[in-house]
Amino acid sequence: MAELIVSMAQMDVKLGNPRINWGKMQQMTTVAKAQGGQLVVFPELWDVGFALEQAKEFASSLSGGLFAQVAALSKQQGIFITGSMLEKRGLGITNSAPMVSPINGLMGAYRKIHLFPLLREDLYLTAGEATFTANLPWGVTSIAICYDLRFPELFRRYALEGAQVVVVPCQWPAERIGHFKTLLRARAIENGMYIVAVNRVGEDVLEEGEAPRRYSGHSMIVDPFGEVVLQAGNVEGVFTAQIDLSTADRARAAIPVLEGRRPDLYGSY
C-alpha cells in the first residue's frame, strides 16, 4: 500500500506537566482516528517539554510508564503513533520517538542523535547511537527529531536506506520558523522524499526571569518535489492529509540525484 493518511497533532505542550499533556494527547489521537488517520505524529517531547532538569523524574523505560500507555492507546484507537518523549535508558535519559503499531505494539524507537546545545540537551540527555528505518504498511518510513533537520547527512542516509517518508517531531521556536520551512523543503527536494514535520504551538519559560520561548506551529507535509501538501497555522489542532508514497519513486526517477552521487570524493553520505 503506497498511500498513507497521516495526521499532524499540533499541540501546546505544558512544561513539566505530563498529566495535562497525556490527556490532550489522548483527545487528539481520537480526533486523528475520526479524520481517518492511519498514523498520528506528535511534537518533540510532547510529554513534558524541555523540563530537562526534571528529566530523571519524568522519564520512563520504553516498556513501561507513559510509553506503555501510548502503546495501549494505539491498540485501542487502531492507529500508529509517534512523537518524542523522555526515555530512561540505562543510567541515561534520551529524547526518544517510538513507532507504535496498533497490532504489533512498539516497533522500535529513534533516539535523537544531534542534541541541541542552546537548550542544554547535551547536559541532561544522552545522544542516540542509531538511525531508525522501518518497512511499515504504507511504505519505508524513518524518524528524525527537530535539530536533526540541520544535518542533511542523516536524511541522505535515510534516502539510501529506501525511506519514502521521514517524520520529524519538533519544538522549533517562532523566531527561526523561516529556517524550519526552508529546511523541510530542502530535505524533501534533495532526497526525493516526503517530510512530515510536526511542531508545537504556545509558549513556556524554562528559567525564572527569562523571556517566554514562543512556538508558532506551521507543521508541514512536504512532498518529494518540494511542494507543500499541507501546512498548519499557529493554532492547536489535528491536521490530516493523504499522501502517495510512490511519488518518492517518481521524484527519484525524474531527477536521479542518488545515482549521481560521488562517495569516492566526499564519503558515504
Per-residue cell: 201 = 504551538
CA gap 131, 111 in Å, rounded: 8
pLDDT confidence of residue 208: 76
Q: Tell me whether strands 139-143 and 105-111 are parallel, antiparallel or unpaired.
A: unpaired
Q: Got the DSSP string for 123-172? A: HH-PPP----EEEETTEEEEE--GGGGG-HHHHHHHHHTT-SEEEEE---
**Average confidence (pLDDT) over 204-212:** 82
pLDDT in tens, 214-252: 999 999 999 999 999 999 999 999 999 999 999 999 999
Query: Is residue 207 scored above 80 in pLDDT?
Result: no
pLDDT in tens, 39-81: 999 999 999 999 999 999 999 999 999 999 999 999 999 999 9
CA gap 187, 166 in Å, rounded: 10
Q: Give me the residue spans of the domains in the chain.
A: 3-260
pLDDT in tens, 104-120: 999 999 999 999 998 89
- Name the residues annotated as catalytic: 44, 112, 146
pLDDT confidence of residue 209: 74
pLDDT in tens, 123-139: 999 999 999 999 999 99
Sign of CA dihedral 119, 122, 124, 128: positive
In CATH, 3-260 is 3.60.110.10: yes
Q: Tell me whether strands 228-231 and 220-222 are parallel, antiparallel or unpaired.
A: antiparallel
- Residue 205 — pLDDT band, cuts 50, 70, 90? confident
Percent of the chain beyond pLDDT 90?
93
